Structure 1
Amino acid sequence: MAEIGLKSEVAGRVWLLARQEGDEVAAQEAVVIVEAMKMEIPVISERSGKVVKLLVSEGDEVAEDQTVAIIDVAP
């Protein structure tokens, strides 16, 4: 398996951790939800896999293009 980093596309505040470390995630599912400009913007996994590490917590400020989670994906 290979690991990929999920990056936030916007700067904002982590509103919700939609998955926890060890959780399975399907392709196109949200792992983290960022609140920016009064909108909730999901950080989506491009591939199915398992959440290995969350690099943020609810309430954290994130920058655009910041890695927020590491996903172990099937080849």
Structure 2
Amino acid sequence: MAEEIRAEIVANVLKVVAEVGDDLGTGDTVVLLESMKMEIPVLTEGAGRLSRLAVGEGDVVQEGDLLAVLE
């Protein structure tokens, strides 16, 4: 089952850490967000292969926006 990884806050995408096709474990960082001068890692909740990245570095995301999909 696919895991949709979504933004929990309004933020800038500071860095994309993972790439499509990467095998990720529980708690791995997918992207780093920046909000109010704080870096916030976005972590996986389960293990799987990253099948889609919906953001790039420099993008601005809103709460609930899709960041990535893990299969």
- TM-score normalised according to structure 1 size: 0.90
Q: Give the Cα separation in 2 of the matches to 1:25 and 1:11.
A: 25
Cα displacement (A) at 1:27 = 0.3
CA distances 1:25-63 after superposition (whole Å, capped 9, x unpaired): 110111011100100111110001110000000000000
Q: Provide the residue aligned with 2:39 in structure 1.
A: 40
1:10 is aligned to: 9
Structure 1 residue ranges without an equivalent (≥5): none
- Stretches of structure 2 that go unaligned for 5 or more consecutive residues are none
Q: How far apart in 2 are the matches of 1:13 and 1:3? A: 24
Paired amino acid for 1:9: E
What TM-score do you get using the length of structure 2 for normalisation? 0.95
Report how many residues are paired. Answer: 71
Q: Percent identity?
A: 34
CA RMSD between the two structures: 0.7
User: How do 1:55-70 and structure 2 match up within 5 A?
Assistant: 55-70=54-69
* Structure 1 residue runs of 4 or more that deviate by more than 6 Å after TM superposition: none
